[in-house]
Amino acid sequence: MRIALFASGTGSNVEAILQAVQETKLEADPVFVFSDRSDARVLEKAKNYEVQTYSFRPRDFDNKQRYEEALLKLLEKNQVDWVILAGYMRLLGPTLLEPYENRIVNIHPSILPAFPGIDAIGQALEAEADQTGVTVHYVDAGMDTGQVIRQETVAIDAWETKESLAKKVQKIEHRMYPETLQCMFKKAKKR
């Protein structure tokens, strides 16, 4: 499976996936890492794994469609099978969704449909929820609305801070994302 990883920020999930590939826990070929932010830390992280990186900004294109056409070209040129979003903080349009239908996945730090969008961890604390968690899901045009693939919950303790909860959630993410992808790719290969 040839995969492309899209991220906007730190890239700890991208790193967990690249690490899992290196350790042969995830049978996939990471073809490139893309970021919509040229200063994103994920680009440095990818270099440590000798994975090709690309970065360009939507605002440097006439509109979103042109931006996504450039991305699609990159995906097709590299014969990418699956697009893995890991902290890529943009909604996808039909230019990417249609050719890659059911082959784009995302990870989100809540039990969707609860707490979609940005700062899901802050939202869970604000709501005084007893638990939150992690969802891996297919991507559609909505904000964290695609079909759920896997979810894991985590308890929110009374003394929880944003930092402590983020740490717990990320620990789950870093194990769960590579595991879920491995499972999905195995199934897809059998078809």
| List of residues contacting ligand GAR (CB under 6 A) | 7, 9-13, 86-87, 107-109, 120, 144, 173
Q: Is 92 annotated as a binding residue?
A: yes
Q: What residue number has its CB nearest to ligand GAR?
A: 87
Q: Is 11 annotated as a binding residue?
A: yes
From residue 19, alpha-carbon distances to 27, 29, 122, 156 in Å are 11, 12, 28, 28
Residues belonging to the active site: 108
In 27-178, the DSSP E strands lie at 29-35, 52-55, 82-85, 104-108, 131-138, 148-155
CB of 113 to ligand GAR, least distance (A): 12
Residues 6 or more apart in contact with residue 16 via CB below 8 angstroms: 173, 174, 175, 177, 178
The CA distance from 84 to 185, in Å, is 12
**Would you say 73 or 131 has its CB closer to ligand GAR?**
131
Specify the length of the chain in residues.
Answer: 191
Nearest approach, Cβ of residue 191 and ligand GAR (Å): 28
State which residue, 22 or 73, has the beta carbon closest to ligand GAR: 22
Shortest distance, CB of residue 77 to ligand GAR, whole angstroms? 25
Annotated binding residues, as ranges?
Answer: 11-13, 64, 89-92, 106
